[in-house]
Structure 1
Amino acid sequence: MAPPSPITCRPSAARHPLLLRVPTARAATLGLGLGLPRTEAVVALRAHVRRIEAEPWASALVAVSRNRREEAVRCAAAGEVTGSTGVGRSAGMEVALAAAAVVAMGTGNRVLYKLALVPLRQYPFFLAQFATFGYVVVYFSILYLRYQAGIVTDEMLSLPQKPFLVVGLLEAFAAASGMAAGAVLSGASIPILSQTYLVWQLLLSAIFLKRRYRINEITGCFLVAVGVIITVASGSGTGASLKSTGILWPLLMIISFFLQAADTVLKEIIFIDAAKKLKGGSVDLFVVNSYGSAYQALFMCLLLPFLSKLWGVPFHLLPTYIKDGAACFLNMGSLSSGCEGAPLLPLLFVLVNMGFNISLLHLLKISSAVVSSLASTFSVPLSIYAFTLPLPYIGVASSLPPGFVAGAAVLTAGLLVYSLPQGQHSGNSFRNRND
């Protein structure tokens, strides 16, 4: 049975409402039995019958309204969508648009990171720290403006801080382990190892969110990972590169992606728990971004001696390194030679990276960690193709790997398989199944 349409109660616009027709003779008999005149008996009978018929309908309307309120709260707490078929279509369109934004921002993020390192090729650690601590300032500034506008409420700001602290800890350790492994591994091997991110998200979502995935969803994720591996690995000698580095550094990179997957699943849990605490409301994105970035910056400060050593900068020389990196970033002073493209390219990277993080968190909020991961993964072949274009400051454009088309086709097939519709299905395709 189709769900009932929304009910709007308003006075009737009909001048002569439809009345129950009762045979006059029978009405007269009933009226005489009650000792009422004939006309008054007809009026009394009509009112009596309408009252008897209206009471069940009123009870039904109240029950429907109560059920809808309870369903809305339950769906909001579970991160699902409630409503009619039209609402479901609009929600699906919102997810599709958010995923497209993630793909576009993810592609731009990868390309601009390479471009930003052209002027800052001697100061990559400065760029990483500038982005980390700059986000704290920007996110809290936006959070303050949204609080003044009434978008962010006191209830959102008073949410428990422990989950945000764990988010910052996971992000800091993921960055530290990723930097350590990335300094040793080849550039082509990192996107291949990053496909373990999908596997971790599936496992962690199944464990902590009690999600059950359909066979086409698991198959689709597998095909997406295979497609990226084919795209990146063909003709790059990645297998030999992984063998030459041993098992430690690839394992450390896999641990880094495990921490990142745990971070995204924890953020999804934060959204679900916040919906329960806010009684069906939704926590603002910048509350999660601001608190998470603040705690990440705190732990990054504690890890600074370790991280600077990973980048080949002795800790006692770190102030000088930061000073020289700032001079190159601003393209000023005696060190400006070789810093052409700054500060435009680094600033563009920071802005696009911030937009990527915000769009990724928005997609996570309205869908799930796995959907956001799939959208982000789709940007890998697009960024590889982008580097074949005549980009400024890059020099000679790179050529496409031999297996690019095949890998992109497998990846696209995986996305299509993953999104196959289900016959008897409602709500979010990742809804909890606890019954």
Structure 2
Amino acid sequence: MAISRLLSPPSVPSPPPPLLRNGAPRQCLAPLRVAVPLSPPRQLGLAAARGDGGRRSVGMLGSSRARVAGVFRVSAVSGDGGGGAGGSGIAAAATATVVLAVLNRVLYKLALVPMKNYPFFLAQFTTFAYVLVYFSILLIRFRSGIITREMLALPKAQFMLIGLLEALGVALGMAAAAMLPGPSIPVLTQSFLVWQLVLSVLILGRKYRANQILGCLLVTAGVILAVASGANGGPFLSEVKFFWPAVMMASAAFQAAASIIKEFVFVDGAKRLEGKRPDIFVVNSFGSGFQALFVFLLLPFLSNLKGIPFVELPAYLNRGAACFLNIGGNLKDCHGAPLLPLLYITLNMAFNISVLNLVKMSTAVFASLTTTLAVPLSIYIMSLPLPYLPEGTNLSTSFVIGAATLVLGLLLYNLPQQSADQVKKD
């Protein structure tokens, strides 16, 4: 993960609440104004974009939903497109996320060279190691004053829900992966972005423009084309019953819901912390802690899914640890350990922190769109000769078309809204 001290956001003083036409303070807007301070020119631009003169409506979930929806309408105007004062910061964070996402995927492939017989050990080791690392960084940042007691006092039910959703996503994903042909798995998991769009509308009350919806659909189609281009040589989904693809898409839904709840935690936390959003290591630490707890409770189920009887799990974990550390005898197949697995774990942590930082700066959907750009880039890099993977592969025409479609979708999603706003203003 990234250097922790670079991720602490500066505190921004909150402006006074806006006034009604009669000069009285509009108190119902105070929580929103504290959560997302706006300069006067941005206030006028936002009011013109909404076309409501600055008024906000309260949805069926009450004032809390209205506040969250209002915050993300702000983000739709000033965050997603990369414009405004924070555009350069978001662009830099997005670029770093793409680079780390590519390295993460490539190093995972390399880490499986020595750990090819122990992928389940690698998955469980990273899950529980993250908890130790995240909470260690959390303690350091707390002692340095970056993380406050108020941040640590945020409701833990939200983090418990995040951990439960991610653990269920892992469990269902492993169950479906055991029954599905390999090439179909990355294609089906692209439903993650569609789930994010739907859930952000239902949970956060967000609204999307037509170009954003079409852009997301093009990104999904591009990834499917790029990934499915290598599936021509074997069975795909024609021989699989609909149940297991549905389970894989349900797994993506749980993961998408967890990402949306994380987004909500930042918005709701800003209200509770008087304008300062929670530190990302608070969200990462408690979310990962509860995920590890639920994964531990599901270990008997998960080990059986991987063909490891629960009674044999301790012996399997011992062998996996020996291979990971490359110690003991008869470990010729573990060449490359522990360097490659440790590099993967380090980059994976950096990638997870980078994604959460991007969610904090923009939205979960924008962060997901950014990371999808890494899919064709990763496939291209892994088609080249690499250390421990000297054999290269040729990319098909459909892969190039899919990658171009993905980039087109990203550009379409991020079209600036200035012209539309100007029309409404006129």
Indicate which of 280, 305, 316 corresponds to 2:300.
305
Once superposed, what is the RMSD of the aligned Cα atoms? 2.4
Contact 2:384 2:391 survives alignment (8 Å): no
> In structure 2, do the counterparts of structure 1 residues 353 and 425 end up closer, same or farther at CA, with 3 Å as the change threshold?
farther
1:63 to partner: Cα distance = 10
Equivalent residue, structure 1, for 2:44: none
Q: 2:203 aligns with which of 183, 186, 208?
A: 208
The residue correspondences of 1:414-429 to structure 2 (distance < 5 A) are: 414-423=409-418
CA contact (8 A) 1:106 1:356 kept: yes
Of 70, 73, 77, which residue of structure 1 is paired with 2:34?
Answer: 73
Deviation at 1:403, TM superposition (A): 1.1
Q: Confirm whether residue 373 of structure 1 aligns to residue 334 of structure 2.
A: no
Asked whether the equivalents of residues 220 and 406 of structure 2 are also in contact (C-alpha less than 8 Å), the reply is yes
Please tell me whether the aligned partners of residues 324 and 335 of structure 1 are also in contact (alpha carbons under 8 angstroms): no
Mapped pair 1:117 → 2:112: yes
Q: Does 1:145 align with 2:144?
A: no
2:257 to 250, 253, 262: 262
Question: Once the two structures are superposed, what CA deviation does each residue of 1:333-387 show, in whole Å capped at 9, x if it has no partner?
Answer: 0132210000000001111111111011011111111101101111110011011
Residue 73 of structure 1 aligns with an amino acid whose one-letter code is: V
SS of 2:84's equivalent?
helix
Q: Distance in 2 between matches of 1:150 and 1:63?
A: 38
After superposition, residues 191-202 of structure 1 pair within 5 angstroms as 191-202=186-197
Classify 1:74/1:345 alpha carbon distance in 2 versus 1 (closer, same or farther; 3 Å): closer
State the AA in 1 paired with 2:217.
F
Tell me the matched-pair count: 361
| Partner SS for 2:236 | helix
Which residue of 1 is the match for residue 11 of structure 2? none
Q: Do 2:35 and 2:270's aligned partners in 1 also have CA atoms closer than 8 Å?
A: no
One-letter amino acid of the structure 1 residue matched with residue 304 of structure 2: K
**CA distance, structure 1, for counterparts of residue 211 and residue 250 of structure 2:** 27
Residue equivalent to 1:156: 151
Q: How much has 1:423 moved relative to structure 2?
A: 2.5
Q: 1:277 to 1:223 in 2, by over 3 A?
A: same
Aligned pair 1:392/2:387, yes or no?
A: yes
Find the counterpart in structure 1 of residue 287 from structure 2.
292
Seen in structure 2, the aligned counterparts of structure 1 residues 199 and 238 have a Cα distance that, compared at 3 Å, is farther
Tell me, yes or no, if the aligned pair for 2:104 and 2:344 is still in contact at 8 Å.
Answer: yes
The CA deviation at 1:235 is 4.9
Conservation of the 8 A alpha-carbon contact between 1:167 and 1:267: yes
Structure 1 counterpart of 2:164 = 169
- Kept in 2: contact 1:170–1:259 (CA 8 A): yes
Q: Deviations over 1:160-204 (max 9, x none)?
A: 100000000001010111111122323321221122111111111
Return the alpha-carbon distance in structure 2 between the equivalents of residues 70 and 114 of structure 1: 46
Name 1:22's counterpart in structure 2: none
In structure 1, the residue matched to 2:51 is none
Map Cα deviations across residues 30-55 of structure 1 (whole Å, 9 max, x no partner): xxxxxxxxxxxxxxxxxxxxxxxxxx
* Change beyond 3 A, Cα 1:315–1:74: closer
Letter in 2 for 1:75: V
TM-score (norm 1): 0.79
Residue-by-residue CA offset, 1:70-117 (whole Å, 9 max, x unaligned): 87415257265799xxx9633111111111111111111111111111
The 2-side partners of 1:292 and 1:70 are apart by 25
TM-score w.r.t. length of structure 2: 0.80
- For residues 403-432 of structure 1, the C-alpha deviation after alignment (integer angstroms, 9 at most, x for no partner) is 121111111111111111113678xxxxxx
The equivalent residue for 1:29 is none
Q: Flag the 1:108–1:389 CA change in 2: closer, same or farther, 3 A.
A: same
* Distance in 2 of aligned mates of 1:96 and 1:74: 22
For the residues of structure 2 that align with 1:328 and 1:128, how far apart are their CA atoms?
14
Say whether the 8 Å CA contact 1:327–1:335 is kept in structure 2: no
Q: 1:170 to 1:391 in 2, by over 3 A?
A: same
| Corresponding residue number in structure 1 for 2:179 | 184
| Cα distance in structure 2, aligned partners of 1:373 and 1:117 | 25
Uncovered stretches (5+) of structure 2, i.e. residues with no partner: 1-22, 38-66, 422-426
Q: Structure 1 residues 221, 346: closer, same or farther in 2, change over 3 A?
A: same
In the alignment, which residue of structure 2 is the partner of 1:57?
none
1:130 aligns with 2:91: no
Gapped regions of structure 1 (runs ≥ 5)? 1-61, 427-435
Question: What SS does structure 1 have at the residue aligned with 2:206?
Answer: coil
Q: Does residue 231 of structure 1 match 2:226?
A: yes
